[in-house]
Amino acid sequence: MAAAQNQYDLYIGGEWIAPSSGERFPSLNPFNQKPWASIAQADESDVAAAVSAARECFESTWRKTSGLERAGMMNRLADLLERDAERMGTLESTDNGKIVRETRSQMKFVARTFRFFAGYADKIFGKVIPLDRRDHFDYATMEPLGVIGIITAWNSPIALLGNKLPAALAAGNTVVIKPSEHASVTTLEFARLVEEAGFPPGVVNVVTGDVRTGEALVKGGGLDKISFTGSGVGGRAIAAEAARNLTPVILELGGKSPNIIFEDADIGKATVGALAGIFAATGQTCIAGSRLLVQRSVYDQVLNGLVERAKGIKLGNPLELETEMGTAANEPQFDRILSFIASAKECGAKLMTGGDAARQGELKDGLFVQPTIFADVSNDMPVAREEIFGPVLSVIPFDTEEEALTIANDTNFGLASGIWTQSLNRMHRVSSELRAGMVWVNTYRAVAAQTPFGGVKDSGFGRERGEEGMKEFLTTKNVMINLSEAERDPFAVQT
Ligand code: NAD
């Protein structure tokens, strides 16, 4: 088990192990900026030990377990996550400042995702492939890849893990997880649940630490795939380094997602959807609808409604159920958000509400940013082009559907998008023209275990959840059998 309360060790091969270097660092609670947990800094030797524990377990045990056994453990883990959703949500909110209403429901969603992929574990079917020649018999099987490196960001540690781990385990892989240095606690607590669920030692390993730990995992080799969620800068560095070892990668990166309100939309619902798109999770979500495109005929109506709702958002202690917006998760992120607000003001975007840190009363020690709305933003301003990852909305007017699509697609990113319209024709027409991995129609930030999640362009590549998520962690083996007694021509390929 982990050592003293709130001091966490590394989880390697089913054991809690102190970091070789003895180095530890504090995790800060962004609500009061006080240290509340001590995290181990894993070095290259710790990472190598975790990868070899995962490899040993893969070869000796996990790849040989039946799908039914894997499903049983995964369903037990889902039970435990549901049992502990409240506790785990509270821990995560303490670590990253997200409100408990969100983090607790995320824990339950991850449990749901485990159940979905547990259902796949005993249905990983191959296929018989009919050939041109009848004297050969051919079949292809689906097999696990081996050891997967999972590297995650701080905004939703367990939800991000839940997009990757269930599919990886169901497919028969073992994993080494490196959570963000800004929010590692729930991933370590999750490892305790893995233990309790009865997984063999070495199936799931957790190494904590800063970027150096992530780099050691990527550089060290011994991985069959890397699944990364984080920034474009991190993703590019990892992809380049992984290429040296020919390790394939899945990259879930950032977004600057357009949320488009057409004049024929239900304006009340669309306004709530726009609010949910940017201020839920304090805007610290890759799928944030951070560019709101509104048709000019309903522009003022939407803007006024939105500003009124935003002014009423309750900022407060992330652990209280009535709080609607928590803190920025860490100081660099807080500074980054404020610098984008300053740049939007300098560029001449019209500030409608917010526009500063929030530091009064019980918020005084926390990394709070006011819900901020800029109107009349031009799509070439940095506030509309860069991912801010905070509660800052750029509202952009448009006249025609064609113009809306041009603005929506004029971005380096391509993760999520939203459309608000009551026209069936328009829903399908616009959906097909948007360059994004995901389109929501008359809703936003709705998720399901069954649906593929991921982006195009600078938002990365690969898919999580759904059938596509499962395929990411499997490889195909083809077996061809000669049934004939005849001798072949050794110098010509057989077709
Ligand atoms: P980050 O890239 O700084 O760090 C993410 C993780 O990668 C951390 O664990 C970090 O230690 C590690 N890391 C960073 N550089 C590395 C390197 N060179 N080698 C190995 N490991 C490295 O990202 P962040 O600031 O923690 O997270 C915010 C970003 O995550 C945003 O851009 C956001 O859009 C993105 N995100 C994407 C999704 C998605 O599913 N598409 C979801 C959530 C967050």
Residues 316-359 have pLDDT tens digits of 999 999 999 999 999 999 999 999 999 999 999 999 999 999 98
CA distance 492 to 316: 75
Are residues 310 and 236 both part of a single domain?
no
Q: Encode pLDDT of 89-111 as tens digits.
A: 999 999 999 999 999 999 999 99
> In the structure, what pLDDT confidence band is assigned to residue 307 with cuts at 50, 70 and 90?
very high
Cα 54 to chain centroid distance, Å, stands at: 23
CA distance 6 to 23: 15
> In the structure, what pLDDT confidence band is assigned to residue 5 with cuts at 50, 70 and 90?
low
Q: In what order do the strands lie in the sheet with 291-295?
A: 350-353, 372-375, 392-398, 291-295, 258-261, 418-420, 440-441
Are residues 101 and 161 both part of a single domain?
yes
CA distance 97 to 110: 19
Count other C-beta atoms under 10 Å from residue 321's C-beta.
9
Residue 125: which domain range? 3-253+455-478
- Cβ-based neighbours of 202, under 8 Å, separated by 6 or more: 13, 14, 53, 54, 56, 57, 58, 61, 62, 174
Does any domain span residue 450?
no
- Cβ-based neighbours of 409, under 8 Å, separated by 6 or more: 433, 434, 435
Are residues 276 and 177 both part of a single domain?
no
Does any domain span residue 490?
no
Say what the pLDDT of residue 470 is. Answer: 98
> In the structure, what pLDDT confidence band is assigned to residue 21 with cuts at 50, 70 and 90?
very high
Mutate to test the pocket of ligand 1, among 41, 155, 182, 453 (most ligand atoms within 8 A of CB): 155
User: Residue 366 pLDDT > 50, yes or no?
Assistant: yes
Q: Encode pLDDT of 246-298 as tens digits.
A: 999 999 999 999 999 999 999 999 999 999 999 999 999 999 999 999 999 99
449: left (phi over 0), alpha (psi -120 to 50) or beta: alpha
Say what the pLDDT of residue 108 is. Answer: 98
Say what the pLDDT of residue 221 is. Answer: 93
> In the structure, what pLDDT confidence band is assigned to residue 2 with cuts at 50, 70 and 90?
very low
Q: Is 254 in the pocket of ligand 1 (CB under 6 A)?
A: yes
Would you report the helix, strand and coil content of the chain in percent, each value rounded to 5? 40, 20, 40
The string of DSSP codes covering 139-185 is EEEEEE-SEEEEE--SSSHHHHHHTTHHHHHHTT-EEEEE--TTS-H
Has this prediction a pTM greater than 0.95? yes
CA distance 424 to 146: 45
Q: Is 237 in the pocket of ligand 1 (CB under 6 A)?
A: yes
Are residues 188 and 216 both part of a single domain?
yes
Report the pLDDT averaged over residues 202-207.
99
CA distance 48 to 66: 28
Are residues 346 and 428 both part of a single domain?
yes
CA distance 173 to 163: 15
Are residues 209 and 276 both part of a single domain?
no
Nearest to 242 by CA among 215, 271, 208, 207: 215
Q: At what angle do helices 67-83 and 100-121 cross, to 10 degrees?
A: 170
Are residues 128 and 205 both part of a single domain?
yes
Nearest to 315 by CA among 238, 252, 367, 266: 367
Does any domain span residue 78?
yes
Are residues 357 and 422 both part of a single domain?
yes
Looking up tokens 């369903």 gives 75
Are residues 165 and 31 both part of a single domain?
yes
Cα 231 to averaged position of ligand 1 atoms, centre (Å): 4
Cα 128 to averaged position of ligand 1 atoms, centre (Å): 41
User: Residue 217 pLDDT > 80, yes or no?
Assistant: yes
User: Residue 300 pLDDT > 70, yes or no?
Assistant: yes
Count other C-beta atoms under 10 Å from residue 246's C-beta.
7
Are residues 215 and 298 both part of a single domain?
no
Q: Structurally, how many domains does the chain consist of?
A: 2
Q: Encode pLDDT of 437-495 as tens digits.
A: 999 999 999 999 999 999 999 999 999 999 999 999 999 999 999 999 999 999 999 88
Q: Which domain CATH number covers 367?
A: 3.40.309.10
User: Residue 18 pLDDT > 90, yes or no?
Assistant: yes
Does any domain span residue 216?
yes
Tokens of 240: 């380049």
Say what the pLDDT of residue 4 is. Answer: 42
Q: Is 413 in the pocket of ligand 1 (CB under 6 A)?
A: no
User: Residue 3 pLDDT > 50, yes or no?
Assistant: no
List phi, psi (to 5°) of 72.
-60, -45
Q: Is 464 in the pocket of ligand 1 (CB under 6 A)?
A: no
Are residues 249 and 109 both part of a single domain?
yes
| Rounded percentage of the chain residues whose pLDDT exceeds 90 | 98
Q: Encode pLDDT of 421-438 as tens digits.
A: 999 999 999 999 999 999
Q: Encode pLDDT of 127-142 as tens digits.
A: 999 999 999 999 999 9
Does any domain span residue 65?
yes
Q: Across the chain, what does the average pLDDT equal?
A: 97
Does any domain span residue 426?
yes
Q: Is 336 in the pocket of ligand 1 (CB under 6 A)?
A: no
Cα 46 to averaged position of ligand 1 atoms, centre (Å): 21
Count other C-beta atoms under 10 Å from residue 130's C-beta.
8
Does any domain span residue 14?
yes
Q: Which domain CATH number covers 243?
A: 3.40.605.10
> In the structure, what pLDDT confidence band is assigned to residue 86 with cuts at 50, 70 and 90?
very high
CA distance 226 to 241: 11
CB 174 within 8 A of CB 251: no
Nearest to 47 by CA among 199, 192, 211, 245: 211
Are residues 230 and 359 both part of a single domain?
no
User: Residue 112 pLDDT > 70, yes or no?
Assistant: yes
∠ at Cα 316 (312, 322), nearest 5°?
Answer: 70
Does any domain span residue 491?
no
Nearest to 91 by CA among 82, 83, 100, 101: 100
Say what the pLDDT of residue 60 is. Answer: 98
H/E segment holding residue 118: helix 100-121
Cα 228 to averaged position of ligand 1 atoms, centre (Å): 7
Q: Which atom of ligand 1 is nearest to the CA of 179?
A: 9
